[in-house]
Structure 1
Amino acid sequence: MRTTIDIPEELVREAMKLTHLKTKTDVIKEGLQTLIRKEKLKNLKNYKGAIDLTIDLNTIRKR
């Protein structure tokens, strides 16, 4: 998908330098993937303590 967006050049240059990515497209893709991963992890943390994961290995072995 092609989209025209206004991103500060210095921000893109710094991201390319830090990530060692060669193209602006790769930097944008990596940034979006990282943001998605971060948000999914944050959503998973909402379930902490809500699910009982008590595991009895002896019961599992008997199956």
Structure 2
Amino acid sequence: MATNLSIDADLLEEALRVGGFSTKKETVNHALTEFVQRRKQREIISLFGKFPQDADYDYKKGR
């Protein structure tokens, strides 16, 4: 899927340099992947403490 985007050239060049990527396409794809992963992690973190604890669970038993 071809898409035309207006991307900040300085930011893209910095991302190329910092990330060690060889192409702009690789840089943008990696940045989008990392963005999605971080957003999903936020969703998971928001669930901490929202599930009831299992009173019968023995964490020492699994050792």
TM range (shorter): 0.7 to 0.9
Identity in percent: 20
The aligned length equals 59
Counterpart in 2 of 1:12? 12
Higher helix content, 1 or 2? 1
Q: Deviations over 1:2-48 (max 9, x none)?
A: 10000011111000000000000001001100100110000001110
> TM-score w.r.t. structure 1 length?
0.81
- Counterpart of 1:33 in structure 2 is 33
* Residue 56 (1) aligns with residue 58 (2): yes
CA RMSD of aligned residues (A): 1.7
CA distance in 1, matches of 2:11, 2:48: 35
Q: Which runs of 5 or more residues in structure 1 are unaligned?
A: none
